[in-house]
Structure 1
Amino acid sequence: MSSTDFAEMVREDRALTPLYTDPGIFDVEMDRIFRNTWVWVAHASDIATPNSFKTSYVGREPVIVTRDKQGAIHTLLNRCRHRAASVCEKRKGRASVFVCPYHGWSYDPDGRLRKVPHKSGYAEDFDNSDFGLVTLRTEEYNGLIFATFKQDIEPLVDFLGSARKWIDLFMKQGGGYPVRTLGEHRFRFPGNWKIQLENTTDAYHFPIVHKTFLDSLDAEAENVFDVLGHGGWVEDLGNGHSVMVMIPDLIDLDDNLDAPIPQRFADLARELAEEGHSDQEVRKIVRAVGGTGFNLNLFPNVACSMAFFRVLRPVEVDETEITHVAIGMDGGPKAANRMRLRLHEHFQGPMGFGTPDDAEGWERVQRGARAGGDQWIMLNRGTDAPEGQAEAGHEAGDVSAETGMRAAYQMWKRMMTA
């Protein structure tokens, strides 16, 4: 399939159905997109100490994200240079060396080959420095760690561009403490990765798909989650990134701290005060516990979604793995982190109201896409954004607009035709 074919499959406001169903297109995506851009692999708190690591993926390729004893961060292909066995199978932990279980080749956390057993079996000019683990270019922004196979790519800060402002706002959920990951759960759905990518900036589905969640809330909280009724917007941030603002009053968590504390957080506020936190600290922490009022989509594989990270991993054309990562306050009050987890469980958790409903929707899209392969996926919804909200020069629409999806598919088109 040629670049011309890919160009014709995505128009300004629509995309052809084979983008969900064609295994050949999926294989090209893994090369032209996931091997040629910055891909999120970990949060800094996952590898907070020297010699710590977390296993992850860049597209379909397994990697190990490490922090060496000097504190430098590395992303290494999880493949022994000898006969290709994986050298690490644990999700995360600490290790001063990675040893291949097949023939015992060992590697330092920075990827250098440390030792080869019975080395006399090799030629005299065998040089360990020629056989370290393959290293990807790795950079960090505000705790988010990204890696790429493309060594001459633009710096991460340039790739993130206008999204950096929103990352900084999202990280205020530390409530004055550093943000750290609290735990994660992982599941798969039988559908294409782009279906989930679309979902992060899709407010249109919220009152329909998540009616059971809304029914579970008290009147005050239900009003907060009236995502179509607060004058929000969706904004194209460039490079396939987008933001969907659902609750404009919760963009900057440091704003309006004198506002009344919501009733659902009254017990938490009382407990924090009894622990000796000042009134201002209590308000800052409580505001952080409730999360932000926006979803930030970072192309191609991670979302900073109100109060958690959602990471997608393409497995096959019709199979995607999703990881929901709960976040909290590193060194913050136990009561605050406990409530963060309870709120996460209520919606995003495996037994929550939101995740199962979303997953069924994604599965139905994939099932329906098997009918009418010549049909267009429509991405044309949206009226003008509220005046003065979006950054000048950015395409934007009202909160139910499909602006974010159009942004992602234009980046898809750009990379698939490069």
Structure 2
Amino acid sequence: MAANQSQPVMNKESKTMSELIEMQNVSLKAAEMVEEGRVHKSLYSDPEIFEEELDKVFNNTWVYVGHESEVPEAGCYKTAWIGRQPVILSRDRKMNLHVLQNRCRHRGATVCEGRKGKTKSFTCPYHGWGYGLDGALRALPKPEEYEGVFDKKDFPLESLRVETYQGLVFATYRDDIESLEDFLGGAKKWIDLFMKQGGGYPLKVLGEHRFNFPGNWKIQLENTTDAYHFPIIHKSFVTSLDDATADIFDFLHGDGFVEDLGNGHSVMVMIPELVDLEADLDQPIPARFEKLAEELRAEGKPEDEVKKLVRAAHGTGFNLNLFPNVSCSMAFFRVLRPVSVGETEIQHVALGGEGAPAPFNRKRMRLHEHFQGPMGFGTPDDGEAWERVHKGAQSGQDGWILVNRGLNNLHESKDGNVAGAVCSETGMRGAYRQYQKMMAAGEEK
């Protein structure tokens, strides 16, 4: 059931929404369910639309699969997903990165079930076909039975196009789309800034946890640049902070903003003074961070490095959303995976510094646990809100979800992009414009 989208904008003299919506027995095309200030709730709940999204979105763009620090040495691997397709990120003996379809070329079984590890090869457990870290078919039982049938070099694991930026690894099934750097576009500036929270050390994945919530993937996509909900749903988190830190998180009336970076990407700046973690390092260290500073000094770190590490330990002042599946959110990565129309897997990735002092990485882990960890203040509250949105989308005759906050209060950013107040829905509208473009691709005009 879906709404006819060719209706005028409502005003006081208009009919009620239920009178305007003509219910139909067939779904409208998903691209027609996106308007500038609203999207139709069928995008959350229609299984046919979901199947179309897997192809038109996830199979046709750059998708985040991991961070280089997760495969630091030759032989290291981690498994990931592109939409609903399992893949393997591996590093071969020459230290080259590969993203391989996790599917044996014989009968289709997955060749790797571990989340991450180190190996010399991938072997299918069904019939024993063995593949190298680069995906090449190396060995198979009773090879004489294949003499004259096929050549091993013609049956490697399917290899995807892979490119990296600042340690972020992306893959795509498409060889004919733009480079990763062109796709990231205006987001590159913000990725560069985000990576400074290693405190002068390369950013490193310290750990992760995963959970599933009963809701559509786009509900989470919207959340990363939604400051409007923060003081309401995360009130328990704010009350757990000291007064000085709590004041910093009172950002709805500050100078923050949300900027549409193009290609579905967006940034939400909540704490402008923490955008560049290497700026103003001559300022004294706040008293509430003095304990960490003393621990770093005890490690023999000079004062200029202590200041840099203390500043970086607590994360950046912005959330960066990279369409369609990953966000660099203040101090961690959040990766989403669409499981079904009504189920999404979330992976929260804790970050620290490669080779950084132990007190620094310890502080980073405690920070992650406080908000994003399984027993933290943020994750349970967000998860319940996402579930409620999905549940509510199943009811009622009014089929529209509003994303129009701040629509008439926009300005041009310093980089020439469309921007709005920190509590605006500018980022969501940018993501849905990219979604609409991809879902409309190939449709008859």
TM over 0.5: yes
Q: Distance in 1 between matches of 2:41 and 2:408?
A: 27
Quick one: structure 1 residues 49 and 242, their matched pair in 2 at CA, closer, same or farther if it must change by over 3 Å? same
Q: Which residue of 2 aligns with 1:315?
A: 339
Partner of residue 282, structure 1 = 306
5 Å matches for 1:204-243? 204-243=228-267
User: What is the distance in 2 between the residues matched to 1:392 and 1:385?
Assistant: 18
Q: Distance in 1 between matches of 2:424 and 2:369?
A: 28
Within a 5 Å distance, the mapping from 1:2-401 to structure 2 comes to: 5-372=29-396, 374-382=398-406, 390-401=413-424
Q: How far off is 1:278 after superposition?
A: 1.0
Q: Distance between the aligned counterparts of 1:194 and 1:40, measured in 2?
A: 16
Q: CA deviation at 1:7?
A: 3.0
Amino acid corresponding to residue 303 of structure 2 in structure 1: D
Superposition deviation, residue 5 in structure 1 = 2.6
Please give the secondary structure, in 2, of the residue aligned with 1:359. Answer: helix
Structure 1 residue 275 displacement after superposition? 1.6
Mapped to 2, the partners of 1:167 and 1:235 lie a distance apart of 14
Distance 2:414 2:216 in 1: 31
Judged with a 3 Å threshold, the aligned counterparts in structure 2 of structure 1 residues 42 and 385 are, in CA distance, closer, same or farther, namely farther
Displacement, 1:385? 7.3
> Which structure 1 residue ranges, 4+ long, deviate > 4 Å from structure 2?
1-4, 383-388
Q: Is the 8 A contact 1:312 1:323 kept in 2?
A: yes
- For 2:29, what is the secondary structure of its paired residue? helix
CA distance 1:151–1:384, shift in 2 (3 Å): same
Query: In 1, Cα distance between the equivalents of 2:368 and 2:112?
Result: 30
Code of the residue aligned with 1:334 in structure 2: it is A
1:407 pairs, out of 415, 430, 434, with 430
The separation in 1 between residues aligned to 2:29 and 2:203, in whole angstroms, is: 44
d(CA) in 2 for partners of 1:238 and 1:166?
A: 13
| Structure with larger Rg | 2
* CA displacement at 1:39 relative to structure 2: 0.1
Offset at 1:121? 1.9
Unpaired runs of at least 5, structure 1: none
The CA deviation string for residues 42-76 of structure 1, in whole angstroms up to 9 with x for no partner, is: 00000011111000000110000001110110000
How many angstroms apart in 2 are the aligned matches of 1:3 and 1:151? Answer: 32
Deviation of 1:382 (Å): 1.5
Of stretches 140-149 and 5-14 in structure 1, the one that deviates more from structure 2 is 5-14
CA shift digits 1:251-301 (9 cap, x unpaired): 000101122323332100011112211111000000110100000000000
Is the Cα contact below 8 Å between 1:3 and 1:416 reproduced in 2? no
Task: Encode CA deviations 1:312-334: one digit per residue, 9 max, x unaligned.
Answer: 00000000000000000000000
Q: Which residue matches 2:17?
A: none
Cα contact 1:233–1:385 (8 A) shared by 2 = no
Pick which of 379-388 and 29-38 moved more.
379-388
8 Å CA contact 1:142, 1:168 repeated in 2: yes
Query: For residues 144 and 324 of structure 2, what CA distance do their matches in structure 1 show?
Result: 46
The more displaced of 44-53 and 269-278 is: 269-278
**Contact 1:231 1:386 (C-alpha < 8 Å) held by counterparts:** no
CA distance in 2 between counterparts of 1:22 and 1:381 reads 25
Whole-Å separation in 2 of the counterparts to 1:187 and 1:347: 15
Equivalent-residue separation in structure 2 for 1:4 and 1:368 (angstroms):
20
> Does the 8 Å contact 1:106/1:116 carry over to 2?
yes
Unpaired runs of 5+ residues, structure 2, are 3-25
Report the 3-state secondary structure (helix = DSSP H, G, I; strand = E; otherwise coil) of the residue aligned with 1:135: coil
Q: State the 1:391 CA deviation.
A: 3.0
**Deviation for aligned residue 1:231:** 1.0
Report if aligned partners of 2:410, 2:419 keep a CA contact under 8 Å in 1: no
Q: What is the CA–CA distance in structure 2 between the aligned matches of 1:41 and 1:147, rounded to whole Å?
A: 7
- Greater CA deviation, 408-417 or 272-281? 272-281
State the secondary structure of the residue aligned to 1:322: strand
Provide TM-score, normalisation by structure 2: 0.91
Give the superposition deviation at 1:4: 7.5
Deviation of the 1:123 alpha carbon:
4.3
* Counterpart-to-counterpart distance in 2, 1:229 and 1:350: 30
Deviates more, 1:331-340 or 1:117-126: 117-126
Inter-partner Cα distance in structure 1 for 2:287 and 2:373: 23
2:433 equivalent to 1:416: no
Q: Distance in 1 between matches of 2:27 and 2:261?
A: 25
Go from structure 1 to structure 2 and tell me whether the alpha carbon gap of 1:410 and 1:3 turns closer, same or farther (over 3 Å shift): farther
Opposite residue 393 of structure 1, the aligned amino acid is G
